[in-house]
C-alpha cells in the first residue's frame, strides 16, 4: 500500500479537517459537562443535563440554633384541669386566615344549619300570675284548626284566696293568661267576701266549659265563639265549705245574692250572658273578654224572682155546705133559660115572625138538661 501526500490531501480535505475538529471539541465539552464536579462548585443545575444524569444539588447548610426551653412550673402554682382551652383557638384561626369560613357561618358549598329558636319571653300577665294568686301552669300555644287557638295559654287548676285556701276549678280550664287572671281576681275580690257573708268559704268552682273550637252556641256556620279563642268561661255554680251551693241561675237562691254576683261580673267582663239572653244560657253564666269597638259591653242576665215554696197546683176543696153538683147544675140551667125568654118578650114581634109566644119548657122536662153541667163547672174553675 503506497501512501503519498497528494493522496492524503485528496482524501482529507480542509473541510473535513474542520468538521472533524468541531466534532472533537463538541465531544470534549460534553464530557466536561457530564463528568462529576465538586459539589461546592455547582451552585446551579447543568444547562444541558436534560436527562437528569448530573449529581443533585444540595441546599445550603443550615446553622443549628439553640432554642430556649420554658422555665419549670413553680410548686405553688395551681394545678390545671388538664382540659385544653379552645376559647382562644377560633380567634387565632380568624386572625391567621381571615378568608377561612367559620363553622358558625354558613358556607356556600355546605347547607346552612337551622339556628335554634330563641327562648320565648314571658308576658307581663304571666309574670303577674304567680303561685300566690293561682295554680296556672303555662301550656304550649294552640294554632288551629282554622282560626281556633291562642297564645300565652295557661291551665287554670285552682285559685289561691288571700287566706292561702285554694278554690279548685273543676275541671281545669284552658284559658288565655288575661282571662285566667280576670277569673282569679273576680273570685278573690268579689266571691270570697260573698261566701264570708254566708258564714262559709268557697271550695270549688264549677267549670261548665272553657276552650272549645266551635261556633257560637254550637250552631253550624255561626261565627267563631270566644271559647274557640280560649277567651271565655262558662260558670254554673260555686260550692261552699258548709255544703251549700251558690247556683248562679238557681231561682230558689236569694235574689240579693244573685244580684250581687250579677253586678260583680258585669263590671269586670265585656260579655255576660245568662237567663233571658237566649235559650242557650238558662242554666249557666257565660263570661268572656271579647274586644269590641269603643269597648262596647254586653250584660244580659235577668235575675228572676224566687219561685213560691208551695205551688197552687190543685183547686181548693169544695165546702161542705155547698149544694150537690147535679142540683146546682139544674138551677143554673133554669136561670139561663128564663133570661133568654125574657129577652125575647122585650124585643116584640118581628116581620114575618109568628105572633104566638113559645111556651117555656118546664124544668122537669128533658129540655132542661140541654144546658148540661159542664159549662157551669168550667165557670167555677
218: left (phi over 0), alpha (psi -120 to 50) or beta: left
Distance CA 233, CA 136 (A): 15
Cα–Cα distances (Å) from 17 to 22, 28, 66, 99, in that order, read: 9, 17, 65, 70
Distance CA 176, CA 229 (A): 8
**Which pLDDT score, from 0 to 100, does residue 253 have?**
87
- CA nearest 260: which of 191, 189, 196? 191
**Which pLDDT score, from 0 to 100, does residue 19 have?**
65
Which residues have CB under 8 Å from 278's CB, separation 6+? 217
Residue matched to cell numbers 269590641? 292
Sequence-distant contacts of 363-371: CB under 8 A, at least 24 apart: 363/330, 363/334, 367/337, 368/330, 368/333, 368/334, 368/337, 369/333, 370/333, 371/329, 371/332, 371/333, 371/336, 371/337
Distance CA 307, CA 309 (A): 6
Q: Which residues of the chain have pLDDT under 50?
A: 39-41, 85, 87-90, 92, 96, 98, 103, 108, 346, 348-381
3-state secondary structure of 298: strand
Query: What is the per-residue pLDDT across 248-260, written as a single tens digit (0 to 9) for each?
Result: 988 888 889 999 9
Is 40 within 8 Å of 60 (Cβ atoms)?
A: no
**Which pLDDT score, from 0 to 100, does residue 110 have?**
53
**Which pLDDT score, from 0 to 100, does residue 370 have?**
46
- Going 201 to 203 to 206 to 207, the CA torsion angle's sign is positive
**Which pLDDT score, from 0 to 100, does residue 12 have?**
54
- CA nearest 288: which of 352, 248, 218, 234? 234
Query: What is the per-residue pLDDT across 285-295, written as a single tens digit (0 to 9) for each?
Result: 999 999 889 88
What's this model's pTM, rounded to 2 decimal places?
A: 0.52
Which residues have CB under 8 Å from 167's CB, separation 6+? 158, 159, 160, 161, 187, 202, 203, 204, 205
- CA nearest 285: which of 215, 205, 223, 213? 205
Is 226 within 8 Å of 269 (Cβ atoms)?
A: no
- Residue 99 grid coordinates: 378568608
**Which pLDDT score, from 0 to 100, does residue 17 have?**
57
Amino acid at each position: 500500500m503506497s501512501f503519498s501526500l497528494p493522496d492524503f490531501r485528496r482524501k482529507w480535505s480542509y473541510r473535513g479537517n474542520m468538521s472533524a475538529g468541531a466534532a472533537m471539541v463538541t465531544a470534549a465539552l460534553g464530557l466536561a459537562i457530564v463528568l462529576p464536579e465538586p459539589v461546592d462548585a455547582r451552585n446551579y443545575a447543568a444547562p444541558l443535563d436534560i436527562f437528569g444524569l448530573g449529581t443533585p444539588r444540595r441546599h445550603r447548610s443550615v446553622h443549628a440554633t439553640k432554642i430556649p426551653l420554658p422555665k419549670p412550673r413553680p410548686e405553688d402554682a395551681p394545678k390545671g384541669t388538664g382540659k385544653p382551652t379552645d376559647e382562644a383557638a377560633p380567634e387565632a384561626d380568624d386572625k391567621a386566615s381571615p378568608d377561612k369560613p367559620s363553622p358558625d357561618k354558613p358556607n356556600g358549598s355546605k347547607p346552612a344549619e337551622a339556628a335554634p329558636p330563641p327562648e320565648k319571653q314571658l308576658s307581663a300577665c304571666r309574670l303577674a300570675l304567680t303561685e300566690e294568686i293561682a295554680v296556672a301552669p303555662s301550656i304550649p300555644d294552640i294554632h288551629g284548626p282554622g282560626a281556633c287557638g291562642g297564645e300565652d295559654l295557661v291551665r287554670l287548676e285552682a285559685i289561691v284566696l288571700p287566706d292561702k285556701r285554694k278554690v279548685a276549678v273543676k275541671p281545669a280550664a284552658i284559658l288565655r293568661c288575661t282571662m285566667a287572671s280576670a277569673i282569679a281576681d273576680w273570685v278573690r275580690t268579689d266571691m270570697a267576701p260573698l261566701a264570708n257573708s254566708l258564714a262559709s268559704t268557697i271550695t270549688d268552682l264549677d267549670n261548665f266549659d272553657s276552650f272549645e273550637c266551635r261556633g257560637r252556641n254550637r250552631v253550624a256556620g255561626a261565627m267563631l265563639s270566644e271559647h274557640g279563642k280560649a277567651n271565655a268561661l262558662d260558670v254554673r255554680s260555686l260550692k261552699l265549705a258548709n255544703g251549700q251551693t251558690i247556683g248562679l241561675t238557681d231561682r230558689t237562691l236569694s235574689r240579693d245574692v244573685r244580684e250581687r254576683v250579677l253586678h260583680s261580673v258585669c263590671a269586670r267582663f265585656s260579655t255576660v250572658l245568662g237567663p233571658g239572653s237566649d235559650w242557650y244560657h238558662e242554666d249557666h253564666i257565660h263570661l268572656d273578654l271579647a274586644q269590641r269597638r269603643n269597648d262596647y259591653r254586653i250584660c244580659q242576665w235577668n235575675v228572676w224572682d224566687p219561685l213560691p215554696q208551695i205551688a197552687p197546683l190543685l183547686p181548693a176543696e169544695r165546702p161542705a155546705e155547698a149544694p150537690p153538683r147535679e142540683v146546682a147544675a139544674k138551677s143554673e140551667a133554669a136561670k139561663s133559660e128564663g133570661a133568654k125568654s125574657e129577652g125575647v118578650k122585650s124585643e116584640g114581634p118581628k116581620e114575618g115572625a109568628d105572633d104566638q109566644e113559645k111556651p117555656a119548657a118546664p124544668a122537669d122536662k128533658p129540655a132542661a138538661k140541654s144546658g148540661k153541667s159542664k159549662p157551669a163547672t168550667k165557670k167555677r174553675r
